[in-house]
Amino acid sequence: MQTTVKARGVVVGRALEYNFTTLRISRAYVSLLSRPEGEAAAISLAWIGDHEIRMHAAPPAGDAKQPLFIIDVFDHDARLLIDSRACHTVAEGAVAFDEFLHMAEPAAGGPHGTRPN
């Protein structure tokens, strides 16, 4: 019985984390859509040490399969773009965000969500 309760807690915890991430991506996308046309500034999603995960508008391509937005991870110390993903759905953005978060955590040597001074 204890194992079942613990396993349910892990499943519920992961579901809540996924929902929180999806909400974060959705809110950032709404902010992106609300910006004046031509404003190219990125929306910061999270800081992990010197790494920043950001959302950008996708460049217009006139393609039927154009992504909604692009998520990237940028190393401010090295001034280097580490990786980026074109996302066609909010769910894809949530997955990319989680992957970048887990990628940056070991490099930063700490928990996610910390911003440099």
Give residue-wise pLDDT tens across range 41-74. Answer: 899 999 999 999 999 998 887 777 899 999 999 9
Residue 77: inside a domain: yes
* pLDDT of 12 higher than 80: no
Residue 56: inside a domain: yes
Domain total in the chain: 1
Copy the structure tokens of residue 18. Answer: 């996924």
| Tokens 């079942």, residue located | 4
Share of the chain above pLDDT 70, in %: 75
Those residues with Cβ within 8 angstroms of residue 78's Cβ, 6 or more apart along the chain or in another chain:
50
Residue 29: inside a domain: yes
Closest CA relative to residue 71, chosen from 82, 61, 63, 60: 82
Q: Does the global pTM surpass 0.85?
A: no
DSSP class of 74? E
Residue 93: inside a domain: yes
Residue 34: inside a domain: yes
| Tokens 């809540």, residue located | 16
Go through the chain and tell me how many residues it has.
Answer: 117
Closest CA relative to residue 58, chosen from 87, 36, 82, 83: 87
